[in-house]
Amino acid sequence: MKDRMGMPVVATVSGLPDRVRIWEVGPRDGLQNESSIVPTEVKIEFVERLAAAGLPVVETTSFVRADRVPQLADASEVMERVRRADGARYPVLVPNLRGLESAVAAGANDVAVFASATESFAQRNLGRALADQMAMFTPVIEAAVALGFPVRGYISMCFGDPWEGPADPRQVADVSRSLLDAGCGELSLGDTIGVGTPGQVERLVDVLVDAGVTREQIGVHFHDTYGQALSNTLAALRSGVTTIDASTGGLGGCPYAESATGNLATEDLVWMLDGLGIRTGVNLDTLVATSAWMSRQLGRPSASRVTAALTGM
């Protein structure tokens, strides 16, 4: 039965921001782990629907090697053909200078790099030691900055690593500072395997601020493996963070960490933020319709509880 509420009751809470920027990662992080190749036309329509829902940032694709992430082998075509909404950002992930060159050729002007907070994940995902990862990223960041592009630095395993256990906040801070010093304008702290809890979130933000990272430079990226994504988001908001990553339909995972399940669902995030009276600019009805549409393309129900409640899927 379709939920008759339709929208949350608004009840504001002191100490939270008035506005939050949602960084939508569904088309890139959400789809990269799909086993069946999603048609290019569907990817393009997904991006365009998300922007039409009012999302200010729609991370569109990743210019990685096709043999590593076959799902995103059509990155250039997607980037070239997407109709861009006025005022929206369409960042792409670039792992190296070759990826940056391909992204620029396809019309990208907003990029991100992907670092690790732990030794084990650096070795598995990047093929190099943690201490050496900036040698890979610094030329990419500097080249993108020289082109006038905004550059985001993702950091994986900020709360826990399946091979090492709990992450050291000071190590996360060191990687954060290295990325900012190289030219990144903002960061995304990833709970890649979804093990973080609210106290960890608040502690990590405090450690980063003590290391000279501003709250305005911090974004958070929570996976919902242990059902903690929304509670961790609320903790981040209380800590002054105003950029939240999310994936429509809860799509996503990580192809290099088997215990990483889906991302925080954008619809669930918007429901909570709407209920708190926090502005996002996102139309929940349009977003839910997009999630339901995408779930039909993938042949399975949306993982978003809000979409399930509002559509009866």
Residues annotated as catalytic (active site), given as ranges: 254
3-state SS record for 182-242: HCCCEEEEEECCCCCCHHHHHHHHHHHHHCCCCHHHEEEEEECCCCCHHHHHHHHHHCCCC
Give the Cα separation of 58 and 78 in Å (integer).
13
- Find out whether 105 and 76 touch, Cβ atoms under 8 Å: yes
Give Cα 285 distance to the centre of its chain: 21
Question: What is the amino acid identity at position 201?
Answer: V
What type of residue sits at position 162? Answer: P
- CA nearest 25: which of 219, 162, 217? 219
DSSP code string of 234-291: HHHHHTT--EEEEBGGG----TT-TT--PBPBHHHHHHHHHHTT-B----HHHHHHHH
Q: Which two tokens stand for residue 150?
A: 């905004």
Question: How would you classify the pairing of strands 186-191 and 165-166?
Answer: unpaired
CA 9 centroid distance within chain: 27
Question: What tokens were used for 81?
Answer: 């053909």
Q: What residues contact residue 126 under an 8 Å CB cut-off, 6+ apart?
A: 115, 116, 133, 136
